[in-house]
Every structure is written in C-alpha cells, then in structure tokens.
Structure 1
C-alpha cells in the first residue's frame, strides 16, 4: 500500500511505491536461525542441577539477540518506503518515530543509478538524485528494479519540463505492457503521463 489518498495533492497520482529490496532480510533471517539453533543446543547442554533457571537464562539471551539482530532490522525494512508521484519523491522511515521527506520533482536536476555485481544478481541498485539545493544529493539504496525507477523518474522530469512525452507508456521487456513486477510495486494501473 502506498501513500494514503489524503496525502496526495489535487491532480497528483502515485506512480511507484516500494520498499528497499528484500536482500536486506538475508542476514537477519540467518541470525534468527542461528540464534534458534544456539538456544536449543544451549538448553540441551545445561546440566540437570542448573535447570530450569539456566534454560530460562539462555532463552532470555536468545530472545534479546533475536529482537536485536532479526526483529529490529525487519521492522526497519518494513517501515522504510520510497514513493514516486507525478509531483514528488517521498521517502518514509522509522519504527517508532516516523520520518518523512518530500522532494518536489521540480527541484531535481539529475537522476542516476548505480548497480554493483551483487545488485545485478538481486535485481536492485542505488538511485542517486541531485537536487537544486547546494550539495543536495539524495541516495536511495537497494531500490528494486532501479533502472525502471530511474527511467520512470526521468520521464516524469522531462514531462514536467516540456510537453514531448513519448507516444507509448512504459512497457516491460517482454512487451506485455504490464507495469512493474513482483511484490515490490503497487498493483494499481499506472497513470497516463500525458494527463
């Protein structure tokens, strides 16, 4: 789910909504499995004279480690979103204290994307947005399908500065005309950029 309708301006439409790539959950997932195995092995190795207090202590330490190494990174991933509308780029993050940053597209000077080897394997990358402000650079890391996001943002920027929109809306590489793929993108129809 993207931005609530009440947060969109008049004639503003959501184009893309995503969170960082799921690869951010690989290490927290592995930590969860390892802590679970460690707690099980530790509880089994506690001598009979130290039971059940020793087992409860191991369980308490295991729970703290799971919260620190798995739950908090998951919540951080879950609450960090990137939304692109026809007028602005919105980033939201924060588990308890929500932080939101709105960047009007009219203030964007340049958009570029970077993809390392692991990014290409996972299908993500880094989006770098240069703004009109002095030293204004916004870096969005682990953006799923970053090249598609880059192209879409470029199309919005060009459309806002001149009226020479392409004749066809974006279509995927298979030519099926579907917009976005996977669970990262909102399932709504894409707006026609020409209005």
Structure 2
C-alpha cells in the first residue's frame, strides 16, 4: 500500500501579537464642540433664568444633549477593538449590534503609517492597509498607540503568513514598448 510522505503542513497555532483600540484623541474637535455647546447652553439658561425670575432655569436640562453626544461618541470608539494575530486582523465594532470583520494577513498588499502633528504629540498614529480582500479593500486603524511597533509587527506577520501559505503577490507594471500604434 503506497504512503504519502508529503503530508500537508499542520496549521500553525494562532497567537495574539497586539490588541488595542482607537484613542479618544481622534475625536478632540468633536469633544471640544460638545464643551462649547454645553457652555453656550449654560450661559443662555443663566441669562434667560435671570430675566424670567428663575423660570428659565429649566434650560439647564438642555445640557443633556451635549452630554449624550459626548457619551455616545466615547462609547462607540471604546467598543471598537483591533486584534492583530499571527494570521489575521480582527476588528470588532458595535454597541448593541456587534460586527466582527476579519482580514487574512496574506491578503495585505501594502500599508501606510501616518502620524499627523496633533496625534504625534500624544504618541499616536494611523495605520492604513490596502488589501486584496473583496469586502474591505482598505482597512484603517486610526489613532492607535505605539503605531511604529504595530506596523513592524504587522509587516513581520504578513510576511510570515505569506511564507506559511506559500502566497506571493505579483506586481505587474505596464510597459510601453512603442508598439501600441496602428498596424499597417
């Protein structure tokens, strides 16, 4: 009875390389607007309250609006988490309805790290990936801490996963050899 000596490689154990979430700093201007709105409501309620002999103090109830705006944005950001493993990037999002999006690392074609000035001041950066995945051709992780180390972990994990799966990316350049003219 013949035996097959070339058995398929056993799947490698998947381990977590990094996990984190978007920093709240990415919403600085939104939170700043909420503070200005709350200040405006407070001033208007105070002025209106003084003019109406205390009846306008109910205007302070409107402070619930910027508070709810702030809390909703904070909670949505806090509930979005990233997990980089040796085989995939898992993105979990949602408060009441949860969504899990997984990107196989061998599908990552290119990645870009950006550190805008304000994010760099607080040690954060953005990492954007261009992929061959049909549902998510671009994946962005915004305002993540220690972005350079995460990018390096991603780079190594992508290369290791491509080697493990024996996948190679083909770059095709368009070459103009001058023969594209009309035929005679």
Contact 2:125–2:145 at 8 Å: present in 1 too?
A: yes
Distance 1:112 1:66, change over 3 A: same
Contact 2:14–2:86 at 8 Å: present in 1 too?
A: yes
Deviations 1:116-164 (A, max 9, x none): 222322322221212223682222222222211110011112222348x
The yes-or-no answer on 1:147 pairing with 2:145 is: no
The yes-or-no answer on 1:105 pairing with 2:105 is: yes
TM-score, normalised to structure 2, is 0.68
Q: Give, in whole Å, the separation in 2 of the partners of 1:44 and 1:23.
A: 31
- Residue 122 (structure 1) aligns with: 122
Structure 1 runs not aligned, ≥5 long = 1-8, 164-195
- Residue 179 (structure 1) aligns with: none
Contact 1:84–1:90 at 8 Å: present in 2 too?
A: yes
Q: Give, in whole Å, the separation in 2 of the partners of 1:32 and 1:133.
A: 37
Structure 2 runs not aligned, ≥5 long = 1-10, 165-184
Secondary structure of 1:95's aligned partner:
coil
Aligned residues: 152
TM-score, normalised to structure 1, is 0.65
The yes-or-no answer on 1:65 pairing with 2:78 is: no
Task: Report the aligned-residue RMSD.
Answer: 2.8
Contact 2:23–2:143 at 8 Å: present in 1 too?
A: yes
- Residue 18 (structure 1) aligns with: 20
- Residue 159 (structure 1) aligns with: 160
Secondary structure of 2:139's aligned partner:
strand
Secondary structure of 2:67's aligned partner:
helix
Q: Give, in whole Å, the separation in 2 of the partners of 1:28 and 1:119.
A: 15
Higher CA-based Rg: 2
